[in-house]
């Protein structure tokens, strides 16, 4: 099935791209989530005509992301956690914990944009990437401390 992406979808494509996906993925996920529209004759012509508007919208989103990166530059958050023997954490620090700490610092971020390869399970200072746009990433310093 061919669909036209209305937003950037990781590992699939960028906004405005016409991509071929499996029928189930398109019908059950992309279209209901309003991430894509079915690519039928009239829509393909419409989106080819609208490519300049889409490019302009992508550039505006990129500029907003660059402004947010400027605000995040030098930001560090502290996440206190209970520790056991040998300074091992009870549980772990996830992207949701980082989101809550950033919200307390005045930055409202979507937790899905906070990129952690794996949860943090030890005390220390970590650099966490935040994907604000397909071309723009910010890095925030996260301090995991003992209570």
Enumerate residues 6+ apart whose C-beta is below 8 A from 143: 76, 77, 78, 79, 124, 125
pLDDT score of 63: 92
CA distance 143 to 81: 10
Answer yes or no: is pLDDT of 10 > 90: no
Provide the residue range defining the domain that includes 39.
2-49
pLDDT score of 21: 95
Nearest to 127 by CA among 73, 48, 88: 73
Between the alpha carbon of residue 80 and those of residues 32, 75, 84, 134, the distances in Å are: 39, 17, 13, 31
The reply to whether 35 and 92 lie within a common domain is no
Residue 15 binned pLDDT confidence (cut-offs 50, 70, 90): confident
pLDDT score of 90: 86
Q: What is the pTM of this model?
A: 0.70
The CATH number of the domain holding residue 83 is 3.10.430.100
The reply to whether 74 and 6 lie within a common domain is no
**pLDDT tens per residue across span 46-92:** 887 777 887 888 899 899 989 888 888 888 999 999 998 887 888 89
Residue 42 binned pLDDT confidence (cut-offs 50, 70, 90): confident
Residue 114 binned pLDDT confidence (cut-offs 50, 70, 90): very high
The CATH number of the domain holding residue 33 is 3.40.5.10
Q: How many residues comprise the chain?
A: 147
The reply to whether 40 and 92 lie within a common domain is no
């Amino acid at each position: 099935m061919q669909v036209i992406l209305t937003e950037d979808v990781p590992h699939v494509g960028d906004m405005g791209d016409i991509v071929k996906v499996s029928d189930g993925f398109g019908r059950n996920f992309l279209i209901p989530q309003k991430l894509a529209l079915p690519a039928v004759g009239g829509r393909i012509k419409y989106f080819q005509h609208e490519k300049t508007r889409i490019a302009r919208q992508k550039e505006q989103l990129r500029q907003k992301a660059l402004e947010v990166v400027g605000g995040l530059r030098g930001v560090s958050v502290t996440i206190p956690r209970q520790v056991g023997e040998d300074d091992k954490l009870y549980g772990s620090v996830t992207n949701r914990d980082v989101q809550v700490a950033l919200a307390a610092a005045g930055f409202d971020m979507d937790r899905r944009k906070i990129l952690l390869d794996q949860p943090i399970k030890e005390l220390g200072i970590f650099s966490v990437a935040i994907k604000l746009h397909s071309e723009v990433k910010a890095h925030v310093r996260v301090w995991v401390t003992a209570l």
